[in-house]
A and B are shown apart, each in its own frame.
Chain A
Amino acid sequence: MLTVRSIHTYYDSIHALKGVSIHVAEGEIVTLIGANGAGKTTLVHTICGLLKPSRGSIHFYDRPIHVLPPEKIVSLGIALVPEGRQIFSTLSVEVNLEMGAFLYRNENDYAKEMKERMFQRFPVLRKRRHQLAGTLSGGEQQMLAIARALMSKPRLLILDEPSMGLAPLIVAEIFKIIQELREQGTTVLLIEQNARSALAIADRGYVLETGKVVLEGTGEALLEHSEVQRAYLGRETSRNWEV
């Protein structure tokens, strides 16, 4: 459904993406792992239209989207859960959710119905619906960010480091939610530094290093790959500590 073909993106004069190609098929969880500065977030922002690639193309259902502004890309069915969540902290939980359905013009019925679904899916949000989003805990904020993205019924959900800054128990819960979402038919592109958890639930994965894809394969294969184990899973340490 999503095909990224050898894109190059610059941040001012920094050549952040040097010919990256990835593809995501319907119903998959695809993960993108890599160290800080590898270009993961740049790639996400390029897909969502927040950055423009200087070369290469991005197609979504055979439609070129790298020429479209962000709001058009959202309306085609790509929703982003941004890095660091970026919820509207000065607005209430409810308004945050409504913003997720912004592109549905006959908002009231649609937004109401979707809000109800999100409250069923994330009961803690119902409890906090009138609270300002900034007063939620980190895990709750992440759930709100996911729920907000789901409000637009996306065909492709992109999550940028959803585990960032969260306690391990909460991270496990978030990953469980991601798996459930896929079972309900949402395609997921998951960007993570937490390579082990991400590869464990992913169908396929890409390893990004300094703006290039250096490895790709199924989640299992990458978990087993010696280079991935050394660089991202800390094989040496895990032998010493976990066995």
Chain B
Amino acid sequence: MRKKDRIVFLFFSLFVGLFPLVVASIKAVSHYIDVMIFAGIFSLVSIGLCLLMGYAGQISLAQAAFMGIGAYCSGILTTHYGWPSSLALMVGLVVTGVVAYGVGVPSLKLKGHYLAMATLGFGMIVHIVLNEEVELTGGPSGLVGISGLGIGNFQISSPFAWYYLVWGCVATVMLFSLNLVRSRIGRAFLAIHADERAAQAMGVDVSNYKVKVFVLSALLASFAGSLYAHYVEFLNPGSFGLMWSIKFVLMVMVGGIQNLWGAVIGTVFLTFLSNEWLHFLADFEVLIYGLILLVIAMFIPQGLVTVVATKLLKKGLRDGA
């Protein structure tokens, strides 16, 4: 990991560690802990999508569907079959991994719009299955009574425990991803993004790497989905539809498509926007997201965090000189 990453990671840990202590002491914003738990869960999805989209250059509009597969595996196994939550979570990962591999192998042969369409189609299929398999999923009225998360007698119940669990996972995934993108494999992703044929001529097994990063992003989404299921203890197909897949793309794009920190910051920002600050405009949600996407794509395609970071860096250089 580079020195710069280490410093940012330190600040990140400090902020995340102190956030609930500060927020809990101020009554007006004490529920921000809950919002941050959601933001953390979504961050797991957007970090995976950032690796897939920003680094390897493959678009996916199926992240919410993968999240849904993980969530419903957890939900169905704990409610209908009485499985322990940790085991259900792992089964969710296995199922999602197998499905993602099956979807990834044929569809990653496609490029650009066609890949987007293929993943979009898959996402819709999952959404329809969640809606129609009423006996298993509860259909549109949802799946209730999902158990909380726990191992043996140890249950995670308080918001604080959930907060530190979720953000601990985010930090771990972040460390892993930062190391990954600076490694030989990360360079292969960038090379595939830049020019697949040239990457192949350098000896990169292009299709293999594309499928791997696709499965990795799906696994992260599935893990996030299971956490979501056990945290909310209620599932509804609406949380895993196309709109959510687009939201994840937006979260990554707002922060900076090729910037892992940007993905996390963008996710936190948009989660607060939709859950808190612009909650009263919920009816216009689609409109607002469309507007944000438009502005970002037209004026700051490299993302907010990337732009600010470059500005700061330049200023630092000027001041230093």
Contacts and interface: CB of A to CB of B under 8 A. Distances in A.
Interface of A: 48, 50, 69-71, 74-75, 80, 82, 86-91, 95, 98-100, 102-103, 105, 107, 148, 152
B190 A74 contact: no
B203 A95 contact: no
B201 A70 contact: yes
Contacts of A91: 190-191, 194
Contacts of A88: 190-191, 194-195, 198-199
Nearest to A89: B194
Interface size class of B (residues with CB under 8 A): 10 to 19
Contact of A102 (B187, B193, B194): B187
11 contacts: A48-B201, A70-B201, A71-B205, A82-B198, A86-B201, A90-B194, A91-B190, A99-B199, A99-B202, A100-B202, A103-B202
Contact of A103 (B187, B191, B197, B203): B203
B200 interface: yes
Nearest to B184: A107
A148 B198 CA distance: 11
A102 B197 contact: no
A75 B202 CA distance: 9
Contacts of B190: 88, 90-91, 95
A207 B169 CA distance: 62
B204 interface: yes
Contacts of B194: 88-91
B179 to A, nearest CB: 13
B188 interface: yes
Contacts of A105: 184
Interface string B198-214: 11111111000000000
Contacts of B188: 99, 102
A71 B197 contact: no
Top 6 A-B pairs, shortest CB-CB distance: A74-B203, A88-B194, A86-B198, A71-B203, A103-B203, A90-B194
